[in-house]
Amino acid sequence: MSIEEYAVAGAEDGPYAITTGPDDALWFTMVHSGRIGRLVPGGEPVSHRLDPASGPTIIVTGPDGALWFTEYQAHRIGRITTDGEVTEFALPATDRGPFGIAAGPDGALWFTETTADRIGRITVDGEVTEFPLPVTGAFPSAITAGPDGGMWFTLNQGNTIGRIGMDAEITLHPLPTEAAAPVGIAAGRDGALWFVEIAAGQIGRIGTDGVITEFPLPDRSARPHAITPGDDGMWFTEWGANRVGSITPDGAIQLQDLPTPGSEPHGITLGPDGALWTALEIGALARVAAVPGRSPRD
């Protein structure tokens, strides 16, 4: 693999999540400084200021062609157009801790409320509905649209993968490994959902039938954090080990060290240029591209 790092902010800004926008640019959150960043590969980064204490976390493209993000500390859902216009929507209470967010098949955005044991839904007009989970203290974290028309999410402290349908029916699937603490989740190209177990050092796969398979990482203390589909499998970050990795549908894992020690990789996405991009908390984005004829450790 070939890895290049691009400075986009200061180390105090904390680039966190990243996604490819409808404008073929990379959009990313800066959780510590309350900013939304934009980078066209090969260009200069642009920064859009929010409330410094808002804590923007996950960011995704919405069904309306804008970028939508969660404000974990401000208990809001944010929207930013590709030309930088920001709108923010308050949640029903100031104790929700929204974290994960994803576009649903119904034309709305679905999000998690980590501190309220709820899944939320917001229309592009800002109308919010909340759905209580049948558990408490579960810390719902990441969420993604599944291939079956439902939204799948991780319960970090509940050690469970959940599903909520468009009819609001909730199904929970406990993990085989105790205290695995799942975080990131994404739909794979194989028709299953893939997730990371940050405390167990494993990558998980769950079919829409609820069957779970777990794949231990070579370094069980690597703290895998986020996961996304690539052209050749699923790609993930190892936050605690300063690496990115990939896993094929049959469980073959490849890993690559990042150039800068202690860079703390968080979000990861397939970029508009066909490479994988990850957000580094040290203030940079890393571009990860395959080099033909070379192994991941070359």
Binding-site residues for substrate, in ranges, read 225
266 counts as catalytic? yes
Here the tokens at position 81 are 């157009």
Binding residues for Mg(2+): 264, 281
- Going through 207-293 in order, the beta strands assigned E by DSSP cover 212-216, 224-230, 233-238, 243-247, 253-257, 265-270, 276-280, 284-289
Q: Which has the closest alpha carbon to 263: 71, 5, 55?
A: 5
DSSP 293: T
With beta carbons less than 8 A apart as the criterion, state whether 236 and 268 touch.
Answer: yes
Widest pairwise Cα distance in the chain:
54
Binding residues: 225, 264, 281
Q: Which of 48, 75, 173, 266 does the annotation list as catalytic?
A: 266
d(CA 218, CA 189): 24
With beta carbons less than 8 A apart as the criterion, state whether 42 and 25 touch.
Answer: no
Here the tokens at position 17 are 């999540």
Here the tokens at position 130 are 């909340």
DSSP H helix total and E strand total for the chain: 0, 28
C-alpha 152, offset from chain centre: 13
Query: Residue 265: how many CB atoms within 10 A of its CB?
Result: 28
Residue 43 corresponds to which amino acid?
G
Active-site residues: which are they?
Answer: 266
